[in-house]
Amino acid sequence: MKRLYIGSMSPFSGKSLFTLGLGLLLKEMGYRVGYIKPIGNEPLQIDSKVVDGDAQFFKDVLELEEPIESISPFVESLDVLNRTLSGKVRSVDRKVLKAINSMKNYDILLIAGTRDIFEGSLYGINGIRIIRDVDARAVLVERWNNEDTIDDICAAKDILQGRLHGVVFNHVREEALDFIRNRVIPYLKRKGIEVFGMIPYDRVLGSITVRALVDVLGGRVLCAEEGLDKLVENFSVGAMDVNNALRYFRATPNKAVITGAHRSDIQLAALETSTRCIVLTGGLLPNDVIIGKARLKGIPIISVKEDTFTVVDKIEKVMGKFRIREEEKIKRAVDVVRNNVNIKKLI
């Protein structure tokens, strides 16, 4: 059995997207594919068990037979952190490694990494140790960020000591494709680092529905519920003067505009451009003119209690995770990996 650790050197690189597409494609090719998330960071309570949300999602999509506690043996949480710091949580490493080694009836086992290969160190287990102790090979999925990405990859090669199987670049903008293809890939090849593919930025995979945004923010929809299933691709904070805002809004398509309820000028400017929804912070309500115009244009207005900074922070965390649990995105993830990654070379 081959064990592939899908990790990265930085958070929000698109590991889940790649793992999902890879897993479904390998099954399509006839391989028996297993999945485990050794260190979870998205607590989800099922009956009396706390498991990782991603692990449950992958169990369902890949139709895995193991109980969820085997696929998600350890989950980080504030309670676990506090108990660990008090010396009440021990032997996490043995529990995690035992769970990985118990999965044997597969051709390929996909081991899902955490935010980066260092996370979990305070519990005595991290990606580096997992890769070493279960004799896995690491495939790093890295969000393209110019020379910083190259630097991280070269560091990973040294850290993993011969266990870096290769790299997939993700979220690559069109203007960077030629540079990576003609300069970066040959350089890494000379360093003994294989590049299996470049996944370009995809507007569908990089988006979130208005409905999901409402759930994340815990907001209240004030009008135009029929627009809740539209995709938000960009976000704009309306804290500028209206002339600059209008210019910026016109250049930013399919956006959510975040602003205070008192800024009716910003709200009107947003309604005149390509806007998917308006998020009003501070818990206040807009005037009737704004509500009427938004209803006419089918643009939902969402009221949230938090301040603008808190709302933006929540959105950044969600968008960074590339929400892939909608059916349209599952299909797109498979197509994106199929068309941009050399799967045969990888396996």
pLDDT digits (tens, 9 = 90+) for 199-249: 998 777 777 889 988 988 999 999 999 999 888 888 888 767 777 778 888
pLDDT tens readout for residues 89-134: 888 999 999 999 999 889 999 999 988 999 999 999 999 999 999 9
**Reported confidence tier of residue 260, pLDDT bands at 50, 70, 90:** confident
**Reported confidence tier of residue 321, pLDDT bands at 50, 70, 90:** low
Give me the pLDDT at residue 337, please.
94
Question: Percent helix, strand and coil across the chain, each rounded to 5?
Answer: 45, 20, 35
Give me the pLDDT at residue 323, please.
57
Give me the pLDDT at residue 320, please.
53
Q: Is the pLDDT of residue 167 over 90?
A: yes
Count how many Cα atoms sit within 13 Å of the Cα of residue 19 in the half-sphere of its side chain. 35
Give the angle subtended at the CA of 321 by the CAs of 250 and 344, to the nearest 5°: 110
Q: Is the pLDDT of residue 54 over 90?
A: no
CB atoms within 10 A of CB 90: 12
Give me the pLDDT at residue 325, please.
64
Rounded CA gap, 152 and 106, in Å? 31
CB atoms within 10 A of CB 262: 13
Position 133, amino acid:
D
Rounded CA gap, 211 and 255, in Å? 14
Give me the pLDDT at residue 12, please.
81
| 8 A C-beta contact, residue 9 and residue 155 | yes
Q: Supply the CATH classification number for the domain 208-320.
A: 3.40.1390.20
Domain 2-204+323-346 grouped into CATH 3.30.390.30: no
Coil, strand or helix at 112: strand
Domain boundaries, the chain: 2-204+323-346, 208-320
Q: Is the pLDDT of residue 73 over 80?
A: yes
Backbone angles phi, psi at 203, to 5 degrees: -65, -30
Mean pLDDT, residues 57-83 taken together: 92
Rounded CA gap, 216 and 193, in Å? 39
As a whole number, the mean pLDDT across the chain is: 90
Helix 308-320 vs helix 210-217: crossing angle, to nearest 10 = 120
Q: Largest alpha-carbon pair distance within the chain? A: 64
Rounded CA gap, 7 and 21, in Å? 15
The better pLDDT of the pair 27, 41 is held by 27
